[in-house]
């Protein structure tokens, strides 16, 4: 089983991959199926990375919709035919910046905890 730090890094790297693709704009997302699939795939990675987070960790950041993050992953994987490009793009624009800050903050806290134990 992957450690918490590894899963946070997975999520952060997926967010950064989405940011790079999203920098091409909504037009590229709509026109290029590879850009769309890249973004959808990395949203799936984020959902898979956070899925096993403990309730204690989730309670540390109650403003993050952890269940919805996992839920969108399930839809994208198991009910892909329900994928709404407008919803995916809204996640990219509205949700990822806050999630990135949260994940980075948790990584920073883990780093401080690990340094404190050394």
Rounded to whole angstroms, the Cα distance separating 11 from 28 reads: 23
Rounded to whole angstroms, the Cα distance separating 110 from 89 reads: 30
Model confidence at 111, pLDDT cuts 50, 70, 90, reads: confident
Mean pLDDT rounded to a whole number for the chain = 92
Q: Would 25 be classed as within a structural domain?
A: yes
Per-residue model confidence (pLDDT) at position 84:
95
Q: Would 118 be classed as within a structural domain?
A: no
Spell out the residues 6+ positions from residue 10 whose beta carbon is closer than 8 angstroms to its own: 2, 45, 46, 48, 49
Spell out the residues 6+ positions from residue 14 whose beta carbon is closer than 8 angstroms to its own: 42, 43, 45, 46, 49
How many structural domains is the chain composed of? Answer: 1
Model confidence at 6, pLDDT cuts 50, 70, 90, reads: very high
Per-residue model confidence (pLDDT) at position 1:
72
Q: What domain range is 50 assigned to?
A: 4-111
pLDDT tens column, 10-65: 999 999 999 999 999 999 999 999 999 999 999 999 999 999 999 998 998 999 99
Q: Would 20 be classed as within a structural domain?
A: yes
Reported as half-sphere exposure (CB side, CA atoms, 13 A), residue 39 has a value of 28
Q: Would 30 be classed as within a structural domain?
A: yes
pLDDT tens column, 51-60: 999 999 899 8
Number of residues that this document lists for the chain = 118
Q: Would 42 be classed as within a structural domain?
A: yes
Q: Would 117 be classed as within a structural domain?
A: no
Reported as half-sphere exposure (CB side, CA atoms, 13 A), residue 52 has a value of 12
Q: Would 116 be classed as within a structural domain?
A: no
Between residues 81 and 37, which one has the greater pLDDT?
37
């Amino acid at each position: 089983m992957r450690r918490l730090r590894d899963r946070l890094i997975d999520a952060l790297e997926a967010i950064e991959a989405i940011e790079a693709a999203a920098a091409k704009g909504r037009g590229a997302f709509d026109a290029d199926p590879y850009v769309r699939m890249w973004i959808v795939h990395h949203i799936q990675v984020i959902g898979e990375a956070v899925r096993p987070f403990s309730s204690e960790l989730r309670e540390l950041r109650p403003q993050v919709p952890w269940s919805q993050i996992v839920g969108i992953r399930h839809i994208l994987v198991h009910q892909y035919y329900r994928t709404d490009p407008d919803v995916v793009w809204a996640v990219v624009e509205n949700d990822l910046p806050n999630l990135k800050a949260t994940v980075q903050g948790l990584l920073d806290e883990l780093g401080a905890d690990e340094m404190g134990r050394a």
